[in-house]
Amino acid sequence: MSEKYKVIDSSIPTFITITVVDWVDLFIRPVYCNILDESLNYCIKEKGLVVHAYVYMTSHIHLIVTSTGDELQNIIRDFKKYTSKRLVKAIHERPESRRVWLLKKFSFEAHRSGRATNYKLWKDGFHPVILDNFLKIEQRINYIHYNPVEAEIVFHERDYINSSYRHYEDGNDILSNVMIQPLW
């Protein structure tokens, strides 16, 4: 992993983006978002990941995270590896109108890159940005929560279910599928 993508201090809030290869719109079905929820919650419970804010867009996810356990880059590596396998399995098993196209796309990326055996679902890296002051944190949280509005998926942030916005607005854990710890 190149130094510019290495997290030096996992205890400092870090904004990351994890992107599907070629920006494929994968997260348009609840089954795929549920896999992300389960995987993030596992990393929270078992690996010390702390999620402060998140949003699942159709082709990528944004997170603000820290870690009280393993190094962030190790957690993210494991998260990507595990979710890649689970998502490909779900594509195989579930009714999916784009099944053949998705599997061919992810297979092609694996062979093209030489970095995976059968399927490559995620782009390499996660582009960490250290958020070492309140202004940076506030800007990124607002960016994360406004992303679905900017993409014209919803009219207001509160209407997007795959986001931590409602937790920040209402302070209610039940409104989020991922166990988050807000930064304020």
Total number of residues shown for the chain? 184
**Which residues, in sequence order, are CB contacts of 46 under 8 Å at separation 6+?**
none
Residue 94 maps to a domain: no
Domain count, the chain: 1
Q: Which amino acid is at 147?
A: N
pLDDT tens readout for residues 62-104: 999 999 999 999 999 999 999 999 999 999 999 889 999 999 9
Give me the domain span that covers residue 53. Answer: 3-87+121-175
Residue 47 maps to a domain: yes
Residue 9 maps to a domain: yes
List the CATH number of the domain containing 125.
3.30.70.1290
- Tell if the pTM clears 0.75, that is, is over it: yes
Cα–Cα distance between 34 and 91 in angstroms, integer? 13
